[in-house]
Amino acid sequence: MSPESQASEALPSRRRRPPRGGRHRGDESFLLPPGSPVLVLAVPGSVRSAGGVPEELARLVEIEHTGQPTLVGYLDGDEGHLSDLLAGLPQRSSDEPEAVVVPLSTGPDPAIEGAIRKIVADAAIRAVPAEPLGPHPLIAEALHDRLADAGLARADRIRMMTMVTAAGGIIVATPGDATAVRQAEVTSVLLASRLASPVFTARIDDDAAIRAAAAQLRASGVARLALAPHLIGIESSGQHVAAAAAAAGAQHSAPLGAHPALARLAALRYAEALASALAG
């Protein structure tokens, strides 16, 4: 049963916004009824290292999807820490949780998820941890857009398909361990379908793996490579983007940043986690 079919008055109702121009027209959105549990974005980093991206994403979630305030809590540093944020939320008299905590990460990360679970377990209020944003087809869409923004892929804005790609092959560079790479490969397959070009996946901090992926692409006849960071841009591994691109002999696109697709995914993960909590 899908989260939407389990929805009650406490869950976000779904609506379709009037068609909009551009690549993201027609996105479905979630409206939160008054008194709904708070949506909290959990950021793997500190206020200073995140550079305002989480707050920008939070505003996108509010405006485009929920209609309710979205809060931001950080896993590092003293300012805006997730544990302090949860401690400041008022307790509810109903059986519903006070908050749903959505990890602001593109894929599973045991360290991030473990830190969130501990903070949630220690909180005085009832909070529900959600799944990370990816893997999901919307991540592939966002990577595609960033490649297009960098002039490394061109998109047909009418059919939402790439007609011409400036790079013949793509390396999706992702943070994390071997499990994270396997998860990112799902996104790579979807990106390859969108681009009609070969796409390989490698750890962003593993120059040997990046060079091996580049060698395989060149052996298949690819003359020009591009590296797509599988990052939001708030992760500490973001410092490896330029080095990974240099190891591949490739140009690179920017991290995903405050992309509208990530805001939509945050609302979706909220709805899924809340539906599961209420059903259980």
**Helices assigned H by DSSP within the chain:** 47-50, 53-61, 82-87, 110-122, 137-149, 178-195, 207-219, 241-248, 260-279
pLDDT of 1 > 80? The answer is no
pLDDT value for 213: 98
Write down the pLDDT at residue 9: 38
Q: Give the model's pLDDT for residue 30.
A: 72
What is the pLDDT at residue 14?
Answer: 37
Over 50: is that where the pLDDT of 6 sits? Answer: no
User: How does pLDDT run across 149-182, given as a tens digit for each residue?
Assistant: 999 997 654 344 444 446 899 999 999 889 889 9
At 184-205, the pLDDT tens digits run 999 999 999 999 999 999 999 9
Average pLDDT of 248-273? 96
What DSSP state is assigned to residue 236? G
User: What is the Cβ-side half-sphere exposure of residue 26, based on CA atoms within 13 angstroms?
Assistant: 4
Residue 126: CB atoms within 10 Å:
17
pLDDT tens, position by position, 43-52: 999 999 899 9
Write down all domains in the chain, each with its CATH number in brackets: 13-134+259-279 (3.40.50.1400), 137-252 (3.40.50)
Q: Residue 157: what pLDDT?
A: 44
The pLDDT score that the predictor gives to residue 243 is 96
pTM given for the model:
0.84
* DSSP tag of 238: G
